[in-house]
Amino acid sequence: MDELILTQPDDWHIHLRDGAALTAVAPHSADVFGRVMAMPNLKPPVTTVSAAQAYRQRILGALPPNTSCIPLLSLYLTESTTVAEVEAAAHSGFIVGFKYYPMGATTHSELGVSDLSRCREVLHAMAKSGLPLQVHGEVTDPAVDVFDREAVFIHRQLIPLLESHPDLRVIFEHITTRAAVEFIQGAGAGVAATITPQHLLYNRNALFQGGLRPHHYCLPVLKREEHRQALLHAVASGHPRFFLGTDSAPHSQSTKEASCGCAGIYSAHAALPLYAEAFESVGALSLLEGFASHFGADFYGLPRNQHRIRLIRQSWTVPPHYPFGSETLIPLRANETLAWKVVQI
Ligand code: NCD
Ligand code: ZN
């Protein structure tokens, strides 16, 4: 197969940042995706409908003039989020979920939630209005090995959460382990997961290949090969509750290549080619469209996109870096060649 025509895909998990960084990265996603789910972990985080409205305007301002790309937003759940805010979000028309960051789990999660039981009323209101909870699924307990934090999260938090809120719709974001795959396969119709390109393409050896590789560091961290295989099997099974969320998370070169480097991999410049490579590696290219363009929209209860995009087998070389405000951004696969390319129809 040398050509794929797909319903236009959506990216259900992306960090677009703000200001000059937003201006630098937004066009990469807008060129390909029909909708982008902008994560709310700005500084300060996007915790209210009015802050989200303002952020949405800034995103719209950063998109190329004739784009059809639509930004959707997620609100950052805090222990002070009110039921009234949930109801306002549900009526906003552009906020389609709340993001749960366990406090301290990842970039800009300081204002996240330390004890989800303090959000009972709010979670109840979300279940009632159908707004899903988008979960960063890692425990923050320093006693738990960093490679085990997702699997431990399932037992310590996710199962109890769904037991106390059986009607809450939950998206287990950027899953990385066999345990998470099996959890989704065994869960009800209201529970889904997003999967990133890096977790389909790399195992944890990529962090240490010939030396420390900061541009392969993200959270949740890359795992063992057996877990990557489990993710590949999940997407190659055509299961409708695994769908695309790049978790493209740009950080400047200087903050990545540092003594305490930031977590986040930038993949928006090549998202579809990277996923196509992963699907092709397991002979599942024909299942890419469901994962990339159908299942996410279906889960969110939104229409599938009308436009189509075309992917062709044509090699191209990823630039060494992209401008990023006054800094530079090192993309995934910098200076390397990709086999697939998106072209306009
Ligand atoms: C994300 C970021 O930089 O905002 N980083 C990452 O490694 N994925 C935050 C997140 O999604 O955990
Ligand atoms: Zn993320």
Residue range 214-258, pLDDT digits in tens: 999 999 999 999 999 999 999 999 999 999 999 999 999 999 999
Measured CA to CA, the distance from residue 36 to residue 64 in angstroms comes to 14
The answer for residues whose C-beta is within 8 angstroms of residue 195's C-beta and 6 or more apart is 174, 175, 231, 234, 235, 242, 243, 244, 245, 291
CA–centroid distance, 305 to ligand 2, in Å, is 23
Q: What is the reported pLDDT for 116?
A: 94
Query: Among 18-27, 105-114, 238-247, 300-309, where is mean pLDDT lowest?
Result: 105-114
Q: Of the residues 17, 43, 106, which should be mutated to test ligand 1's pocket, given the most ligand atoms within 8 Å of the CB?
A: 106
CA–centroid distance, 263 to ligand 1, in Å, is 6
pLDDT tens-digit map of 313-322: 999 999 999 9
The pTM of this model reads 0.98
Q: What is the reported pLDDT for 119?
A: 97
pLDDT tens-digit map of 48-73: 999 999 999 999 999 999 999 999 99
Measured CA to CA, the distance from residue 275 to residue 253 in angstroms comes to 24
Integer angstrom CA distances of residue 256 from 105, 147, 265, 311, 326 = 18, 20, 10, 31, 15
36 has a pLDDT exceeding 80: yes
pLDDT tens-digit map of 75-92: 999 999 999 999 999 999
In this structure, the residues whose C-beta lies within 6 A of any atom of ligand 1 are 15, 41, 106-107, 136, 218-219, 247, 249, 263-264
Cβ pair 100, 133 in contact under 8 A: yes
- 145 classed as catalytic: no
Burial class (CB in 10 A: 0-12, 13-18, 19+), 166: exposed
106 has a pLDDT exceeding 90: no
Measured CA to CA, the distance from residue 86 to residue 192 in angstroms comes to 21
Domains, the chain, in order of start with CATH, read 3-343 (3.20.20.140)
Measured CA to CA, the distance from residue 335 to residue 240 in angstroms comes to 34
From the list 2, 18, 247, 298, the catalytic residue is 247
pLDDT tens-digit map of 265-274: 999 999 999 9
CA–centroid distance, 93 to ligand 1, in Å, is 25
Looking at every residue in the chain, the average pLDDT score rounds to: 97
Measured CA to CA, the distance from residue 101 to residue 316 in angstroms comes to 36
Cβ pair 222, 242 in contact under 8 A: no
